[in-house]
Amino acid sequence: MILSAVTVSLVPEARGGPFIFWDDLEAACASASRLGFDAIELFAPSASEVAVAELDGLLTRYRLRLAAVGTGAGMVKHRLSLTDPDAERRKQARLFAGSLIEFGSHFGAPAIIGSMQGRCATPADRPQALAWLRDALEELGQLAQQRGSKLIFEPVNRYETNLINSIVDGAAFVQSLSLSNVGVLADLFHMNIEESSLEQAIRQVGKSIAHVHFADSNRRPAGNGHTDFPKVIAALREIGYHGYLSAEALAWPDSETAAATTIHTFKQLIS
C-alpha cells in the first residue's frame, strides 16, 4: 500500500526550506489529520526537543503515524557531518544521528541520512569521505537494526553534495553494506536534477527504495511543476513499493494550501 505523509519542521535555522508545516507540531498534526494524510515526517532540532510521550499523544489524538525522522538539523543547526575531516566532529555526528534513530524507533519510524552525509573538499578527498560515510552507515544501520528499525540513505543533488547524487549510485552504495535494513530514499526533486528518467531509475533501483519524497520538479507541492507523476507511480507499483509518498516540498504559497494541493494530487494518483 502507498500511503501519504507530510513534513513538519521544528528547526528555525531551516526556515524557507522544503517543509510543508512549521514550528507548531500540534497545529501541523491537526491540519494533516483534517486533510486526510496518513502520517507526518518530523524534522526536529534534536532527539531531546520533542518528548516521546508528547508525540505519541498527538499521533494518537489525530490518528496519524510517524513516517520517518529527518536528521538534517545535524547539518543545518549544528554543522555536523558524517564525513567531517575531524574525527571528533564525525563522532558527534554519529551520536546525533543515533539519538534520532532511537527516537524514531519508539514509533517504528526510520531515520533519514541526507544532508548529514556532508561533502568533500576536493575530488582527491572523495574516496576517504566515502569510506567514512560507509563506516557511519554500517554503525548507524546496526543501531537501527537493534531497535527494530530501518535506516534510509538519501542521495542529494550535485548543488548540495559532491558525494552521492543519483539514486542509482545511492542504491549501489547501500547494497554494498553488510546490512539488509538500510534502504535508499527516492527524492523526486533531487531525481529531477540527477536522473535522465525518474521512472527508469525507480525500476533500476527496485526494492532498494524505502521511502519517497513527494515534490514536483520545482520543489513546489506535487501538481505545481512538470513531473509526470502517473509514470512515477506506475514505476513504483511495478517494483512493488509499499511505503510513503512524503511531501518534502516548499510551503507554497502557504502551508495549508501546499498541504491541500499535495493530498489532492495524491488522491488523484492513488486510488
Residues carrying an active site annotation = 154, 248
Neighbours of 210 (CB within 10 A): 22
Question: Measured between alpha carbons, how far is 64 from 241 in angstroms, rounded to an integer?
Answer: 21
* Residue recorded with cell 527494530: 148
Which are the contacts of 240, defined by CB distance < 8 A and separation ≥ 6? 207
Q: Are 8 and 25 in contact (CB under 8 A)?
A: yes
The grid coordinates of residue 168 equal: 542509482
> Can you read off the three cell numbers belonging to residue 68?
520517518
Nearest to 20 by CA among 220, 217, 259, 264: 259
* Neighbour-count burial of 175, counting CB atoms closer than 10 A to its CB (0-12 exposed, 13-18 middle, 19+ buried): middle
Q: How far is the C-alpha of 62 from the C-alpha of 128, rounded, in Å?
A: 45
